Amino acid sequence: MAQLNFGGTLENVVTRDEFPLDKAREILKDETVAIIGYGVQGPGQAMNLRDNGINVIIGQRKDSSTWDKAVRDGWVPGETLFSIEEAAQRGTIIQYLLSDAAQIAVWPVLKPYLTKGKALYFSHGFGVTYKERTGIIPPTDIDVILAAPKGSGTSLRRLFLAGKGLNSSYAIFQDATGRAKERVIALGIGIGSGYLFETDFRKEVFSDLTGERGTLMGAIQGIFEAQYNVLRKNGHSPSEAFNETVEELTESLMPLVAENGMDWMYANCSTTAQRGALDWKNKFRDAVAPVFADLYNSVATGNEAQRSIDTNSQPDYRVKLEAELKELRDSEMWQAGKVVRSLRPKA
């Protein structure tokens, strides 16, 4: 385990140097990893584990679009692709990668197969952290572990194929076998993590829900809309407004931040841009700080979890969700984005 210094705060992380893939394979050589769910995280984690030589099977509802996707991805019915019940029975490690709402619905089906000595693996601590609301209470004689990639399953797979990795957190909720830590680290390496940092189920949920609603998705879209609308109201064209709001950020500046940090990106922009950014960043920080405090409190009190449970369990949730996404997709800003993306030079 490596120790990193983050501005004076020491943190233990696990890298591939001290925990190479061969070690992960050795630890998991007698395990059968049963991945329940083949939606968002399932495909990326399953295929990365398979490509890394880990024994993986899929549990999925038959006659579904995700069952068909699993077949297209090379999983063979009756050999590596089974019903949820059969995969859970065969598996010694159960990776529970259904959506939060689906985890609640399927839990009564899964629980009988969580027999002594098995491991129950999550990539989001939602179900266990809010167990009083979800009813997901694991048996006491199994390991309960978490490895959570910091990105989508699509990104996890894409970076894996590029020879890179997506950083992941890991946590142990319950160690019944004495092997929980080696199991979760081996799985984290196996799914293609760049490195693993330690957390707990509660902190993973709180940071994840805050991030999704904040800078990762909710806040960034709100900021995009605000700037785009101001530019349009002041006579700027859709192309100009979109390029100055989104395209330059995602195509030019964020790659620089990813490479070397925000300070390096600032240093590689014009002095006029530097001065303006430094003058205005504190105003934006101070303006949104109360919103983030309110957001974190809503997560910590369970309000966000309850809203997700209530809305996601409605029978017409998918219809309502698609209507909201369609409104976003059909907005002038993202229609302008569609045109801009089509005009990018082809490699």
∠ CA 106-112-114, rounded to 5°: 95
236 is catalytic: no
> Mean pLDDT score of the chain, rounded to an integer?
94
Tell whether the model's pLDDT for residue 22 goes beyond 80. yes
Q: Which fold has domain 2-199?
A: Rossmann fold (3.40.50)
**Matching CATH topology for 2-199 and 212-342?**
no
| pLDDT mean over 78-90 | 97
Q: What is the pLDDT of residue 196?
A: 94
This prediction's pTM: 0.89
Q: Return the closest-CA partner of residue 336 out of 245, 234, 235, 200.
A: 245
Beta strands in the chain (DSSP E): 2-6, 9-15, 33-36, 56-59, 81-82, 93-96, 119-122, 143-149, 168-174, 195-198
Tell whether the model's pLDDT for residue 1 goes beyond 90. no
Q: What is the pLDDT of residue 254?
A: 93
- Per-residue pLDDT tens over the stretch 128-186: 999 999 999 999 999 999 999 998 899 999 999 999 999 999 999 999 999 999 999 99
Select which of 124, 157, 183, 213 is catalytic.
Answer: 124
Q: Where are the domains of the chain?
A: 2-199, 212-342
Burial per residue of 172-208, b for 16 or more beta-carbon CB atoms within 10 angstroms, e otherwise: bbbbbeebbebbbbbbbbbbbbebbbbbbbeebbbbb
Tell me the HSE value of 296 on the side-chain side, using a 13 A CA sphere. 10
Q: What is the pLDDT of residue 7?
A: 78
Q: Binning pLDDT at 50, 70 and 90, where does residue 332 land?
A: very high
Bridge-partner residues for 193, per DSSP?
none
Q: Which fold has domain 212-342?
A: N-(1-d-carboxylethyl)-l-norvaline Dehydrogenase; domain 2 (1.10.1040)
